[in-house]
């Protein structure tokens, strides 16, 4: 096994799938000669040539629109959009076309398309470079939404996303791209979509996160265990849509208390959907209100100000204490 | 007072504000010579001329983008996008620019901009003409989202939206544009944004709805009343910011909550209302909060929408589940 960071694992997944299936191709801004703004597509152009690693103009609506046509006619395009904030010009293509062609054609056409984008804060970037837009895509039927939190998951989930017959929005937590390395299985390593992972087992509280927040949650769990003897179970959702309600239920039935850590603005975010589902399905198991620890209902602030915006270990730990005192 | 239907009340609000404030301009596809696809802007071109009622090309991104510039430089544009399914091409302008200029400029600029769009199902239309996209806009900080459910509310809330210093997404339930008439106050009539309305008082459970679903909730409440169940119907009127106080007070009184919306269930506005109730009133609940919503598929075409949209029967069945929990 190779010791890889998250962005190298993404590169491995692309390399593996492109070698295995000649219908797989990548397209996006600077994905070819340059190897991608974060180097996720490095070496693909040299290895597979300009027909399969396509440098596009700066036009996200065009990239996704073109990819939809490619997918409908038998290719397996993987788009890269350079940053989360640049996905919005393609929103109409994603919502009105990619997610609907199967329904619109009564199953005659399908769109095996992956839209990759680095997302989330933590790199002290400028505007439009730190957003967490997952909820927009979760609210669109016909799309899957996948967010890895580790290098091995990034590889396994991206391979499954590429093999999925329907469009997948694949959001990569850019803060973790080079944060740590991990053993990543070589070659064919697919992790099924729609399955959450118990990142840390515990008894007292269920702490749910995705993307970079999984690591904040794990650090909070460690701190609470060491200093206060609180046993926190951390769930890494991995796929937001479709959601693995079974793993969540098993955990909440055991703990009776839930905290959700989310980077995106609080109101109308994914943690609201989780809270609604948990209170609806697991009402009699709950010992207190579900606690949401989230970003704020403003635009993501710039540079160092983001540290006041993103949930950190202290805020997540306070959320856990709050649910225990309910 | 005049007896108006909802689309006439929208027209009345626009006319009344255009008379009072010459900074107000209307722009959109067919809003001028044609009077608007649903006649919401009828007569305005004739009365106010082509500099205040602008027929635009078919380009939603251009319409919203132009209006952002107009608003930043002192005009009060009211954009019409013909159907809410045509809002996504303008999504980037709305999310990345309209919602953020105040914040980006540290308060130097603000955008008194209204984006109106007919929304929702019920008219058996083709694709892209029946969507309920309110949750997308509610998740964007810096935007307000307003949805009227009666002619009088349409007038009062639209005037408040026009006078608001910040961008407002104003979604009009096209299903009830001409469904009924109501006394609508003439001239200046303003309803504050951010306040829900108790459409009917009750004691046993709270039904939360907005837009055309308010009528469904009221019909369900009547059916429940005949079965001896007293339902309170709360019409949210403003989706963002939510009127947490009214929502929580109603749930504390009744102990049971049911949210009714047309949009797909997953990630819909119902989730936030349920989460809010979890935060502020969990201990008052005698049963879980339930959502009666559209399904997690695309809105089906033509008469298939009858199976998709919540109706009084589905609401009554969910209410009975709550009462027997």
> Is 90 exceeded by the pLDDT of residue B173?
yes
**Spatial distance between the Cα atoms of B225 and B230, rounded to a whole number of angstroms:** 5
Work out the average pLDDT over B108-137: 96
Residues A39 and A157 in one domain: yes
Do A276 and A289 contact (CB within 8 A), yes or no? no
- Closest Cβ opposite residue A141 in set B275, B278, B297: B297
In chain B, the percentage of residues whose pLDDT exceeds 70 is 100
Residues A83 and A162 in one domain: yes
- Residues in chain A closer than 8 A to B275 (CB atoms): 271-272, 275-276, 290, 292
CATH number at A230 reads: 3.40.50.920
- Residues in chain B closer than 8 A to A263 (CB atoms): none
Where would I find the H helices in chain B?
6-20, 44-48, 60-72, 91-92, 101-104, 134-138, 151-163, 213-226, 244-254, 269-281, 305-308, 312-323
Domain final position from A149, A184, A219 = A184
Residues A252 and A314 in one domain: yes
pLDDT value at position B225? 98
> Is 90 exceeded by the pLDDT of residue A162?
yes
Specify the CATH architecture of the domain B197-323: 3-Layer(aba) Sandwich (3.40)
Positions of A marked catalytic:
129
Does the CB of A139 have a partner CB in chain B at under 8 Å? Answer: yes
Distance from CA of A228 to the nearest CA of B (A): 25
Q: Quick check: is A308 in a domain?
A: yes
Q: Does the beta-carbon distance from B274 to A138 stay under 8 Å?
A: no
> Is 90 exceeded by the pLDDT of residue A42?
yes
- Residues in chain B closer than 8 A to A139 (CB atoms): 135-136, 263-264, 266-268
Does the CB of A202 have a partner CB in chain B at under 8 Å? Answer: no
Long-range CB contacts (< 8 A, 24+ apart) of B44-52?
B44/B11, B44/B14, B44/B15, B44/B18, B47/B15, B47/B18, B48/B18, B51/B25, B52/B18, B52/B22, B52/B24, B52/B25, B52/B26
Residues A32 and A156 in one domain: yes
Q: Does the beta-carbon distance from A267 to B138 stay under 8 Å?
A: yes
Q: Quick check: is A61 in a domain?
A: yes
Q: What is the pLDDT of residues B270-308, one digit of tens each?
A: 999 999 999 999 999 999 999 999 999 988 988 899 999
* Interface confidence (ipTM) of the complex: 0.97
Domain final position from A126, A156, A184 = A184
> Is 90 exceeded by the pLDDT of residue A197?
yes
Work out the average pLDDT over B179-205: 97
**Spatial distance between the Cα atoms of B58 and B83, rounded to a whole number of angstroms:** 12
DSSP B22-38: TTEEEEETTSSTT--TT
pLDDT value at position A64? 98
pLDDT value at position A67? 98
Does the CB of A128 have a partner CB in chain B at under 8 Å? Answer: yes
Work out the average pLDDT over A118-143: 95
- CATH 3.40.50.970 in chain B, residues? 2-184
CATH number at A79 reads: 3.40.50.970
Number of domains, chain A: 2
Closest CA to A143 of A90, A196, A190: A90
Q: Quick check: is A191 in a domain?
A: no
- Residues in chain A closer than 8 A to B135 (CB atoms): 135, 139, 268
Domain final position from A184, A215, A230 = A184
**Spatial distance between the Cα atoms of B122 and B175, rounded to a whole number of angstroms:** 5
Q: Using pLDDT thresholds of 50, 70 and 90, give the confidence band for residue B1.
A: confident
- Closest Cβ opposite residue A89 in set B92, B267, B278: B92
Peptide bond just before A7 cis, omega within 30 deg = no
Annotated catalytic residue, options B76, B97, B129, B175: B129
- Closest Cβ opposite residue A103 in set B272, B274, B298: B298
**Reported pTM:** 0.97
Q: Does the beta-carbon distance from A141 to B279 stay under 8 Å?
A: no
To probe the interface with B, which of A62, A268, A325 has the most B CB atoms within 10 Å? A268
Q: Does the beta-carbon distance from B298 to A139 stay under 8 Å?
A: no
In angstroms, how far apart are the furthest CA atoms of chain B? 60
> Is 90 exceeded by the pLDDT of residue A173?
yes
Distances in whole angstroms, Cα of residue A25 to Cα of each of A78, A99, A136, A147, A151: 6, 20, 26, 21, 21
Residues A171 and A226 in one domain: no
Q: Does the beta-carbon distance from B274 to A95 stay under 8 Å?
A: no
Q: Does the beta-carbon distance from A276 to B298 stay under 8 Å?
A: no
Structure tokens at B92: 């980037």
Residues A105 and A202 in one domain: no
Distances in whole angstroms, Cα of residue A203 to Cα of each of A98, A140, A220: 42, 34, 15
Q: Tell me the three state secondary structure of residue B168.
A: strand
Q: Using pLDDT thresholds of 50, 70 and 90, give the confidence band for residue B212.
A: very high
Do A293 and A263 contact (CB within 8 A), yes or no? no
Q: Does the beta-carbon distance from A136 to B271 stay under 8 Å?
A: no
pLDDT value at position B49? 98
pLDDT value at position A326? 79
Q: Residue B301: which residues within 8 A CB-CB, separation 6 or more?
A: B125, B126, B127
How many other β-carbons are positioned within 10 Å of the β-carbon of residue B163?
Answer: 17
> Is 90 exceeded by the pLDDT of residue A1?
no
**Spatial distance between the Cα atoms of A147 and A258, rounded to a whole number of angstroms:** 20
Q: Quick check: is A192 in a domain?
A: no
> Is 90 exceeded by the pLDDT of residue A43?
yes
Work out the average pLDDT over A88-112: 96
- Closest Cβ opposite residue B274 in set A135, A279, A298: A279
**Spatial distance between the Cα atoms of A230 and A293, rounded to a whole number of angstroms:** 18
Q: Quick check: is A291 in a domain?
A: yes
B172 DSSP β-pair partners: B118
Mean pLDDT of chain B: 97
A291 DSSP β-pair partners: A259
Residues A210 and A147 in one domain: no
Work out the average pLDDT over B177-188: 96
Tokens 């901009």 label which residue? B113
Does the CB of A241 have a partner CB in chain B at under 8 Å? Answer: yes
- Residues in chain B closer than 8 A to A239 (CB atoms): none
pLDDT value at position B227? 97
The residue range of the domain holding A311 is 197-324
- Residues in chain A closer than 8 A to B63 (CB atoms): none
Residues A228 and A293 in one domain: yes
pLDDT value at position B93? 98
Nearest residue in B to A283, CA atom: B288
Specify the CATH architecture of the domain B2-184: 3-Layer(aba) Sandwich (3.40)
Residues A176 and A146 in one domain: yes
Closest CA to B240 of B137, B117, B95, B91: B137
- CATH 3.40.50.920 in chain B, residues? 197-323
Residues A30 and A7 in one domain: yes
Residues A172 and A238 in one domain: no
> Is 90 exceeded by the pLDDT of residue B213?
yes
Residues A17 and A46 in one domain: yes
pLDDT value at position A304? 87
- Residues in chain B closer than 8 A to A85 (CB atoms): 96
Residues B285-302, buried b or exposed e (16+ Cβ, 10 A)? bebbbbbbbbebebbbee
Q: Does the beta-carbon distance from B279 to A292 stay under 8 Å?
A: yes
Does the CB of A130 have a partner CB in chain B at under 8 Å? Answer: no
Torsion of CA A273, A275, A280, A282, to 10 degrees: 130
Distances in whole angstroms, Cα of residue A35 to Cα of each of A8, A77, B208: 12, 17, 51
Q: Does the beta-carbon distance from A292 to B275 stay under 8 Å?
A: yes
pLDDT value at position A303? 87
Closest CA to B49 of B62, B24, B32: B32
pLDDT value at position B268? 98
pLDDT value at position A90? 98
Size of interface A-B (CB pairs under 8 A): 127
Work out the average pLDDT over A310-324: 97
Structure tokens at B37: 């696809």
> Is 90 exceeded by the pLDDT of residue B183?
yes
Structure tokens at A168: 């997948």
**Spatial distance between the Cα atoms of B83 and B199, rounded to a whole number of angstroms:** 27
Angle at A171 between CA A190 and CA A84, to 5 degrees: 160
- Closest Cβ opposite residue A276 in set B100, B140, B270: B270
Q: Residue B214: which residues within 8 A CB-CB, separation 6 or more?
A: B149, B150, B199, B233, B235
Mean pLDDT of chain A: 97
**Spatial distance between the Cα atoms of B118 and B158, rounded to a whole number of angstroms:** 13
Does the CB of A117 have a partner CB in chain B at under 8 Å? Answer: no
Q: Which helix (H) or strand (E) holds B241?
A: none
**Spatial distance between the Cα atoms of B237 and B62, rounded to a whole number of angstroms:** 29
**Spatial distance between the Cα atoms of B269 and B261, rounded to a whole number of angstroms:** 8
């Amino acid at each position: 096994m190779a010791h890889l960071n998250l962005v190298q694992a993404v590169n491995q997944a692309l390399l593996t799938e492109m070698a295995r299936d000649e219908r797989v191709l990548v397209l996006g801004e600077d994905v070819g000669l340059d190897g991608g703004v974060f180097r996720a597509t490095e070496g693909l152009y040299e290895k597979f040539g300009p027909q399969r690693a396509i440098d596009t103009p700066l036009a996200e609506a065009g990239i996704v629109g073109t990819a939809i046509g490619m997918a409908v006619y038998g290719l397996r395009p993987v788009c890269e959009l350079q940053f989360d904030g640049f996905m919005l010009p393609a929103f109409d293509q994603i919502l009105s076309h990619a997610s609907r062609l199967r329904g619109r054609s009564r199953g005659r056409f399908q769109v095996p398309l992956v839209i990759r984008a680095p997302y989330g804060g933590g790199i002290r970037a400028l505007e439009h470079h730190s957003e967490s837009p997952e909820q927009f895509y979760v609210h669109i039927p016909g799309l899957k939404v996948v967010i890895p939190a580790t290098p091995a998951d990034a590889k396994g989930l991206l391979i499954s996303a590429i093999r999925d017959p329907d469009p997948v929005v694949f959001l990569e937590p850019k803060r973790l791209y080079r944060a740590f390395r991990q053993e990543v299985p070589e070659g064919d390593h697919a992790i099924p979509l729609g399955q959450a992972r118990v990142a840390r087992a515990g008894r007292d509280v269920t702490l749910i996160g995705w993307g970079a927040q999984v690591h904040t949650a794990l650090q909070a769990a460690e701190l609470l265990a060491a200093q206060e003897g609180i046993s926190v179970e951390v769930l890494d959702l991995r796929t937001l849509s479709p959601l693995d309600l079974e793993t969540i239920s098993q955990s909440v039935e055991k703990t009776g208390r839930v905290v959700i850590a989310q980077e995106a603005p609080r109101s109308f975010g994914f943690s609201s959907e989780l809270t609604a589902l948990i209170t609806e399905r697991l009402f009699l198991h709950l010992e207190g209100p579900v606690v949401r620890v989230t970003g704020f209902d403003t635009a993501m602030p710039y540079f160092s100000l983001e540290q006041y915006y993103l949930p950190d270990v202290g805020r997540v730990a306070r959320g856990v204490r709050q649910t225990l005192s309910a | 007072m005049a007896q108006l239907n909802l689309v006439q009340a929208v027209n009345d609000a626009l006319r009344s504000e255009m008379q009072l404030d010459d900074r107000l301009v209307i722009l959109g596809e067919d809003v001028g010579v044609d009077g608007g696809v649903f006649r919401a802007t009828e007569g305005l071109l004739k009365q106010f001329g082509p500099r205040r009622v602008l027929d635009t090309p078919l380009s939603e991104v251009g319409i919203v983008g132009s209006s952002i510039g107009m608003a930043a430089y002192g005009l009060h544009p009211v954009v019409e996008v013909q159907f809410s399914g045509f809002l996504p091409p303008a999504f980037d302008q709305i999310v990345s620019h309209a919602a953020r200029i105040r914040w980006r400029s540290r308060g130097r600029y603000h955008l008194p901009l209204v984006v109106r769009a007919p929304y929702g199902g019920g008219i058996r239309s083709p694709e892209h003409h029946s969507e309920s996209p309110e949750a997308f806009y509610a998740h964007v900080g810096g935007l307000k989202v307003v949805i009227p459910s009666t002619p009088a509310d349409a007038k009062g809330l639209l005037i408040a939206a026009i006078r608001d210093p910040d961008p407002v997404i104003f979604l009009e339930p096209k299903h009830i544009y001409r469904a009924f008439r109501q006394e609508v106050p003439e001239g200046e009539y303003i309803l504050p944004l951010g306040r829900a309305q108790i459409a009917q008082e009750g004691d046993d459970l709270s039904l939360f709805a907005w837009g055309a679903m308010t009528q469904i909730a009221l019909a369900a409440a009547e059916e429940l009343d005949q079965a001896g169940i007293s339902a309170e119907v709360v019409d949210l009127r403003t989706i963002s910011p939510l009127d947490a106080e009214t929502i929580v007070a109603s749930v504390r009184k009744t102990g049971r909550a049911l949210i009714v919306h047309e949009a797909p269930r997953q990630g819909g506005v119902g989730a936030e209302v349920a989460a809010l109730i979890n935060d502020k009133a969990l201990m008052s609940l005698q049963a879980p909060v339930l959502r009666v919503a559209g399904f997690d598929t695309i809105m089906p075409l033509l008469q298939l929408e009858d199976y998709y949209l919540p109706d009084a029967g589905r609401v009554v069945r969910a209410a009975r589940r709550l009462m027997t929990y």
